[in-house]
Structure 1
Amino acid sequence: MSTVWLHSGGKGWLILASNPTPIIEPDGLENLDHVDFNCVKLISIPPRRSDGSPVDSDGITECILYAGMRDPIFEVPGFPCRVPWPTKPAHTLEKIEGIGWGMFAKRNIKAGELIYAERPLLLSKVAWDPSRKCDDPQQRMKVAKVEAEHKLGEALKRMTPDRREAFRKLQNCHSHEVDCPQLFGILRTNGSAANDALKECIPSLPNNEYGSFKVVGETCSRVNHSCRPNARDHFELQSFSLQLTAARDIRVGEEITIRYVNALESRAVRQAKLDAYYFICSCRACTNSTISDHRRQQLAAVEPIESVEAVVRWLNDRALPDDHLEKKALKLLGLLEEEGLESLEIYWFCKQTLGIVYAALGNERRALKYLKEVITQQEAHERYDGMSATEYQRHDSEQSALRSTLVYDVFDYLMAFLETRELLSVMSTCRTLYNIALRHLLRAPIQLGLDTSRQTSFCDFVLADAQRRCSLIRRFGFYAFVDQLRTSDGAQPSCPIDKLIRVLGHSQNLRALEIGVSDELVTYPGFSRALTSNHNLKSLSFWCYTDSKETISILRSLQCPLVSLRVYFTANLTPDIQALLAHLAPYLQTLHTGGVKFPKTVSTPFTKLHTLTLRSRVMNFDAHHLAQLFPNLQSLVFECDVNPVDKTAIDDSWKRITPHKDAGWSRLQHIRGSVENLHQLGLTCPVDYVELELNVAADIDRAAEILDNLRPVKLRLYPPMLHRSMTAILPAMQRQKISHLILLVMMDTNLVIESPDIVQGEIEFIFKCLKSMEWVETFGLTIVTSGWLDFEGQDGSFHNAFDRMMAGLRSMRPKDFAAVAAEHIPRLRNLDLSIEYNSQSLWKIERLPGGGYSLEQRMYTDRSVTSSTNCV
């Protein structure tokens, strides 16, 4: 018994043809990581609930896998999402005389469109080890088949009665074979390959029978074979579904077919392999085999182009002719279409290649022709992943509204196609400029930061064709400070300031600008004129760390109606700043500022402003007058830099604020600040979302009063310690029945604590809190630690507590959180709990979209990490 493999496309996918499933000797597998080929497990995916009921209405797949395969599958991002649906039913099953069942198109189906998807009945390995109990080879093979039948029978017992019956009703073309048991024959007849999907999450699976797996679907098993198939089937891990998509346009009433064998082989070879299914193929390729065999022989003989490296090599090798890849791709494409082999992955790779080639040569019309087909085909498949038909229709309309031209899609595709290569570098060095990608590249946010080499590279690139390229820039930013503008020896400054100013001056279509500068740049020749000449600017973030009248003058000289402004001062230019704000009042919608003393008399209120962020060590305003100045405020954020040196000044400034119970903010929906901020503000109006920072122990007692005054529905707390904070605030949260609660506990570097068990104690306290939070729909907790956690011993010495803390965490069982949540919080829809150490997650639990919880644990011991993920 031989195994037939089909390799298709450069990125490749291996399909084990549905010829007899191999019975093989284990060989050379002992060194593979994680997977134990000597141990077979029966697993239900998605997992069942504790009472055995399914967690997913799409059904459960019973799996026969090697030990160690379960966890990598569960770690797939987004797993398990819902099985995708077509927008409209696309198929029907009908009886075909002399053949059996077949699938037919119920309507016209476009290439790339999803025809059908289902959760498979079974996923099984195909390699069964011969028994070592006897020496006779034939007898050992028989015993192996019996063992396989036994394991398949156990898997069927785990199925629901209707799915078990559906499996047994599937075609078994090996039923007349004496040595082929029934279930084993059904698997051999109906199995579709799942190798590629599994290798994505388990790269250590070998490219032999031990790495081969089959899925059996109830409906997809009814699809018949053709050597000119109009559809292809594939298994997707994220939704754990077997999916059938159209390889080319399919007319209503046309039979939907896939291929069982390597389509590039000759008719004689194909038919020999199809003999395992006991039928003779009569498709057009087989009835006119002389011409078809010749074309397929040509296809097999053409030098492969299916690799990204080949395209990039052509892009940068000037010695290769312009039509080097074009001729090859066009020839392949023509042969594939003549033979009806659009289902092969190389067909779409040819179109991708032609799109890139024509884009590089500056032929926009042809590039769009091919890339549009590729992108449309990819989106037609991807739009269904995890979406219902209604969700897709809403998503599709939103996407259409966002896209005015195809160039955005083309650019995204080019970026993905070139992978790690920096597109800007490729555009500057290879062939003709990527005119298609250029527009999207320059319209994307461009933040050059402090990197002078990056600043120089970008400026040189756009200034080479300044009038055209700079006009495309929409969002731009850079930083330039004193040490970059001056050199002690009089040499050229490291910052290309002249070039940056030229780019700024030419970019007349700027919508958003973020710059960080010092007085040296504010007064630099040409800067003021370059900035103020732009009449289309809507958003400005101006980080000027030293106040000057020149800065205020520049901002007042702007001729554009700014809607968003981020700027900071030190309050020593108050009259000028007030005049500036009065100038911007009719337009601003978002203001992020600090160091501003707002006037007590309001002449020009900010009627359009909805978001206000105030950042300062000293707050200089009156709450009542602030409300008059910003009457339609929806979000108010206080960002105060608190340190011991300024504590007295801050206290004094907040005491001078006049509390105002409702402040006239009838539209206020969000407020963030410290307990001290909000207590002094004294608001009593309802606020939907409150973010509350507790800096010192005294804040905890006042936090409950603030919650009662603001009556939030959503609350985010930043408590210094969880136990005491929650004990004091929990009654207020119960009174307000807060539905969304997020807790972020920061344990600072070198924190001195009384016991190394304090973190564990904080977590255990959550168990008690969860049981009294039956009103909560969303709950999140993150405990962040960094540096070393120390505690003071009885002898006054300090000891490292990290090891003891880790030992305590190992005794914790994250799944207990899920059990408590499921039992005591009936409304809970979202749960996210995690502990982080030095930006690394120690363990994390989150609710899955389809039900159940994902548990991820990482334990750090002597700088090593072990990780595991489970679902409950």
Structure 2
Amino acid sequence: MAAKVEKTNEEIFRQMEETSIKLMEEFKIQDSTSKSRGYICGGGFTYKLVPVGQPAPDDDSLVYTTQPQGCDPEAGMVECVLQNSAAKKELVEYPGYPAPIPREADSPASCPYRIVEIPSKGLGMVAARDLHFGELIISERPLMITPQRTIHSIKWMDSATPRQKQEAVYFESEKIHKVALERMEPEDKEAYMQLYNSHKHDGSGPIVGISRTNAYGVFALQGDEYGGVFKDASRINHSCSPNTFRHFDRLSLSMQMYAVREIKEGEEITAHYCDPLSPYAARRKALKPYGIRCDCPACLNPAKSDKIRYRISCVKDAIPAIVKWAGNPKLPDDLLLGPSLELLKLMEDEGLQASKAYERVLYHLFLIYSALTIIGTYELSEMNIYQHKWIQLQTFRLCTREDACVQLLTDAMQVGFAAQRRSEVTMKDEPKCD
């Protein structure tokens, strides 16, 4: 049997370019009928052959590029459709790009999740073992990254109807996505096409429909928002009380998802597709295009949950108030502690540990306990609980531990100085024993 000959990168990319050009010729034939659909041509859909290793032309042609180049290829490559060459330049010249995918240094060999059938939801993700707060569940590059906005440069005929315009946009978008799909490796292409499509009846083509159903927002380039479709992460179902926090790392072109609370083996792993703090009616409207009727506890009892979530959405930065309280000996020691602990428990009961408001209250509690430690009311261990948890949440956002500690120390010093003055005033006012 003849040995398999591995293709060089140049050969692979040349084949991808030839596939793209062949599709362009096919689309030109399809474009000859565009007039009957209410528009003159697929404006903006210009593709130019760019030799491997050379920069894209400095114009507004769409750029198809496989990224990241030369870094961690075993973790997968991403087919990117970028609005223009300036967008590619911004992507590849980002400081530190490209970088390997972040992974847990001490993670076990076994995968922490499984893709299984979820009753009434189709395929979804469940925990393969018990997962703990802060544990990295998945670190994955997208199969495809494309612009999230619709094509804006189609030349409409005066007779074009709103329906024709919508169909034309979907038709042109399908062509753009098809080029990227055909550039993929066969197994990646198959994985993409097996994802769920909730847009089969609104004029979307199958490739665009899958993108509209499964894409997560990833980054912005030149003011345009982009979305990524993933093999496994796009299988994660929605919950208004998600048990994960996600962050897209632009340096490695990968999505990380972390557990924000304990997840038992076999429990479904969930993410949010809309703002969890929005009222039930707004969440239901946002989820309708996905064909989702959420059955989480918040959606089963919206009359109660809406009030709680509105209260949580009103949480603001309380650092000035904490500093003022810490330095005023006339104010009770537990003035801010009780309400903050109550609010934190409310968030945990509602399953909102992934919200920014939860981080904020954790931070407030750290500062409050740091002041109470100086005053002498509490031990250092109480403060450390909230400090550790807040720093862990910052690392989810790929904020360095050093940066998080600098912010924490700056605010803690401000509160600490106020608390120290409070202690000195209190001691001075205490009656002396004879």
TM, length-normalised to structure 2: 0.71
Equivalent residue in structure 2 for 1:73, among 71, 91, 94: 91
Paired AA for residue 215 in structure 2 = G
Q: In 2 relative to 1, CA 97–311 (structure 1 residues): closer, same or farther, beyond 3 Å?
A: closer
- Match of 1:105? 127
Once residues 69 and 332 of structure 1 are traced to their aligned partners in structure 2, the CA distance between those partners, rounded to angstroms, is 43
SS of corresponding position for 2:264: coil
Paired AA for residue 210 in structure 2 = I
Deviation at 1:187, TM superposition (A): 0.6
Report if aligned partners of 2:371, 2:416 keep a CA contact under 8 Å in 1.
no
Equivalent residue in structure 2 for 1:246, among 253, 259, 268: 259
> In the TM superposition, what are the counterparts of 1:43-442 in structure 2 within 5 Å?
43-47=65-69, 56-67=73-84, 68-86=86-104, 87-88=107-108, 89-130=111-152, 131-135=154-158, 136=160, 137-177=162-202, 179-195=203-219, 198=220, 205=223, 210=224, 212-300=225-313, 302-305=314-317, 310-311=318-319, 314-315=322-323, 318=327, 326=337, 329-361=340-372, 362=374, 363=378, 364-378=380-394, 413-417=404-408, 426=414, 429-432=417-420
SS of corresponding position for 1:270: helix
Deviation at 1:329, TM superposition (A): 3.6
Once residues 308 and 59 of structure 2 are traced to their aligned partners in structure 1, the CA distance between those partners, rounded to angstroms, is 42
Once residues 183 and 413 of structure 1 are traced to their aligned partners in structure 2, the CA distance between those partners, rounded to angstroms, is 41
Once residues 299 and 321 of structure 2 are traced to their aligned partners in structure 1, the CA distance between those partners, rounded to angstroms, is 39
- Match of 2:42? none
Paired AA for residue 182 in structure 1 = P
Structure 2 alignment gaps of length 5 or more:
1-57, 424-434
SS of corresponding position for 2:64: strand
Once residues 270 and 230 of structure 1 are traced to their aligned partners in structure 2, the CA distance between those partners, rounded to angstroms, is 17
Higher-strand-fraction structure:
1
Deviation at 1:378, TM superposition (A): 4.7
> In the TM superposition, what are the counterparts of 1:737-756 in structure 2 within 5 Å?
none
SS of corresponding position for 1:430: helix
Once residues 38 and 332 of structure 1 are traced to their aligned partners in structure 2, the CA distance between those partners, rounded to angstroms, is 50
Report if aligned partners of 1:90, 1:107 keep a CA contact under 8 Å in 2.
yes
Once residues 106 and 62 of structure 1 are traced to their aligned partners in structure 2, the CA distance between those partners, rounded to angstroms, is 30
Paired AA for residue 84 in structure 1 = P
Q: Give the stretch that moved more between structures: 327-336 or 36-45.
A: 36-45
Structure having greater relative contact order (Cα 8 Å, sep ≥ 6):
2
**1:769-804 deviation digits (Å, cap 9, x = unpaired):** xxxxxxxxxxxxxxxxxxxxxxxxxxxxxxxxxxxx
Paired AA for residue 66 in structure 1 = Q
SS of corresponding position for 2:285: helix
**1:161-207 deviation digits (Å, cap 9, x = unpaired):** 21112111111011233x11111110110011114xx4xxx6x63xx
Paired AA for residue 143 in structure 2 = L
Deviation at 1:325, TM superposition (A): 5.6
Report if aligned partners of 1:191, 1:215 keep a CA contact under 8 Å in 2.
yes
Q: In 2 relative to 1, CA 223–433 (structure 1 residues): closer, same or farther, beyond 3 Å?
A: farther
Let me know the Cα RMSD of the aligned residues.
3.3
**1:116-167 deviation digits (Å, cap 9, x = unpaired):** 1111101111112342232434322322221211111111122112111211
Deviation at 1:314, TM superposition (A): 4.4
Q: In 2 relative to 1, CA 74–328 (structure 1 residues): closer, same or farther, beyond 3 Å?
A: farther
Q: In 2 relative to 1, CA 360–434 (structure 1 residues): closer, same or farther, beyond 3 Å?
A: farther
**1:345-385 deviation digits (Å, cap 9, x = unpaired):** 221221122112321342433211211222345558869x9
SS of corresponding position for 1:47: coil
Q: In 2 relative to 1, CA 428–335 (structure 1 residues): closer, same or farther, beyond 3 Å?
A: closer
Deviation at 1:78, TM superposition (A): 3.3
Report if aligned partners of 1:172, 1:182 keep a CA contact under 8 Å in 2.
yes
Q: In 2 relative to 1, CA 262–376 (structure 1 residues): closer, same or farther, beyond 3 Å?
A: closer
Once residues 165 and 433 of structure 1 are traced to their aligned partners in structure 2, the CA distance between those partners, rounded to angstroms, is 66
Q: In 2 relative to 1, CA 380–231 (structure 1 residues): closer, same or farther, beyond 3 Å?
A: closer
SS of corresponding position for 1:57: helix
Q: In 2 relative to 1, CA 77–430 (structure 1 residues): closer, same or farther, beyond 3 Å?
A: farther
SS of corresponding position for 2:150: coil
Alignment coverage as a number of residue pairs: 351
Deviation at 1:236, TM superposition (A): 1.0
SS of corresponding position for 2:228: strand
Structure 1 alignment gaps of length 5 or more:
1-35, 49-53, 386-408, 436-872
Higher-helix-fraction structure:
2
Deviation at 1:55, TM superposition (A): 6.5
Report if aligned partners of 2:315, 2:357 keep a CA contact under 8 Å in 1.
no
> In the TM superposition, what are the counterparts of 1:548-563 in structure 2 within 5 Å?
none
SS of corresponding position for 2:257: strand
SS of corresponding position for 2:83: strand
**1:535-556 deviation digits (Å, cap 9, x = unpaired):** xxxxxxxxxxxxxxxxxxxxxx
Q: In 2 relative to 1, CA 433–153 (structure 1 residues): closer, same or farther, beyond 3 Å?
A: farther
Once residues 297 and 326 of structure 1 are traced to their aligned partners in structure 2, the CA distance between those partners, rounded to angstroms, is 21
Report % sequence identity: 30
Q: In 2 relative to 1, CA 380–229 (structure 1 residues): closer, same or farther, beyond 3 Å?
A: closer
TM, length-normalised to structure 1: 0.37
Paired AA for residue 315 in structure 1 = V
